[in-house]
A and B are shown apart, each in its own frame.
Chain A
């Protein structure tokens, strides 16, 4: 599922949020709060360890209209890059 996304450079990241070691719904809850504080066009990098996040974070992007730029799956964690939409 990672192949559909281009690699996102860390230079594009405006806010980094580490949600390691917490379970649903906290990654979605915290990511949503973070995106709410950000300006359109800014990029959130989110780190999770709950495997459910692989489905939850794309769902968050779909439901809020924010753009999932990238997903990387490592052995024990998942990385997501989400661009705050103009209107979300």
Chain B
């Protein structure tokens, strides 16, 4: 009975509940690393709880050895920084060129780098979930990932996402 006295009414608790966003980051290219990090950082800036589930190639975004060297695909990327027919886009150096151009665009626009966005997001307590299945499939160990990641399977992420106001897959 004492619980009913100390707990606020359900309406009150709902009003106090912070909004929440649950994002899935499934791509490991430089251009696709930005949207989930930007949205998570923005949501946290709005006072929301934010969590990003890094799965499949998206795991590279929080991989110590890979997050600094994410690339932009020059092949099968018609909207990419270099407009090449696929035949030429497959040439050695094309991906490096596309990546270099994207990084210059970002730098010129004073956009933070991916590692900087990760730092901003973690500074705002955005939760980073690392997909345990991807880790198993790709042979990634906990020590390979940046600090502060939570290793989670799909059920744990869905448990977080079920109470989210916004859920997005990137």
Contacts and interface: CB of A to CB of B under 8 A. Distances in A.
Contacts of A33: 45
A25 B110 contact: no
B38 A64 contact: no
A59 B43 CA distance: 11
B119 to A, nearest CB: 12
Contact of A29 (B41, B48, B109): B41
A25 B45 contact: yes
Contact of A32 (B38, B46, B112): B46
Given A24-B38, A25-B38, A63-B19, A32 B110 contact: no
Contact of B45 (A21, A32, A88): A32
A59 B46 CA distance: 8
Give chain B's interface residue range (CB within 8 Å of chain A).
Answer: 10 to 19
**Binding site secondary structure of chain B:** loop
Contacts of B38: 24-25
Contact of A22 (B19, B42, B110): B110
A21 B111 CA distance: 10
B47 interface: yes
Contacts, number: 36
Contacts of A29: 41-42, 45, 120
A29 B41 CA distance: 7
B109 A28 contact: no
Interface string A1-44: 00000000000000000000111111011011100000000000
Given A63-B19, A63-B47, A88-B47, A25 B109 contact: no
B46 A60 contact: yes
Given A26-B112, A59-B46, 4 more contacts: A21-B110, A63-B19, A63-B46, A63-B48
Interface of B: 19, 38, 41-42, 45-48, 109-112, 120
